[in-house]
Amino acid sequence: MSALVSELEFAELSRRAEVDGTAPRVGAIIDREGKVLLLARHDSGPIKATLKLPGATVGPRESLAEAVVRGVYEETSLVVTGIRHHVGDFDYLSPDARPVRRLHFAVDVAATDRIQLTAHAAYVWAPLDGDLPVTSSIRRILDAYRELVAG
């Protein structure tokens, strides 16, 4: 893995999102011995929802790093101790048709054994080499992460 993400890299990612007219969101890859933390939404419909990475919308005057730390804590109660690498991002339209850019970071956390969910139904530690029930965009992010840790 590379060194911690620099303030300069965070600033450039934020600037590019602003220039491109996309609202930034962040996602976190939390790895525990080759398995990543995925969250399950509350599912009441007939179609099984996909799993997602912990994350958050970047608030007004909030940095990307602050949003990563806050989002992981709010969704899982885990404390981020370092943001190691920008793994990748993708753009999509929000339900109200606004352009969004979701930026993903590999993070370290203080511990992985005391997860407390606030907005999700369940969590799973999923092996990176498994058939993960995630969107194709998240699959590409996790594939990039797998290549990063293998190389």
pLDDT per position as a tens digit, 33-52? 999 999 988 766 655 668 99
Q: Top-level CATH class of 7-150?
A: alpha beta
Which residue in the block uniquely carries the two structure tokens 């995925």?
38
Would you tell me how many other CB atoms lie within 10 Å of the CB of residue 149? 14
pTM: 0.91
State the Cα–Cα distance between residues 104 and 84, nearest whole angstrom.
11
State the Cα–Cα distance between residues 1 and 142, nearest whole angstrom.
15
Would you tell me how many other CB atoms lie within 10 Å of the CB of residue 29? 26
Residues 9-20 have pLDDT tens digits of 999 999 999 999
Query: Where are the domains positioned within the chain?
Result: 7-150
Residues 97-112 have pLDDT tens digits of 999 999 999 999 999 8
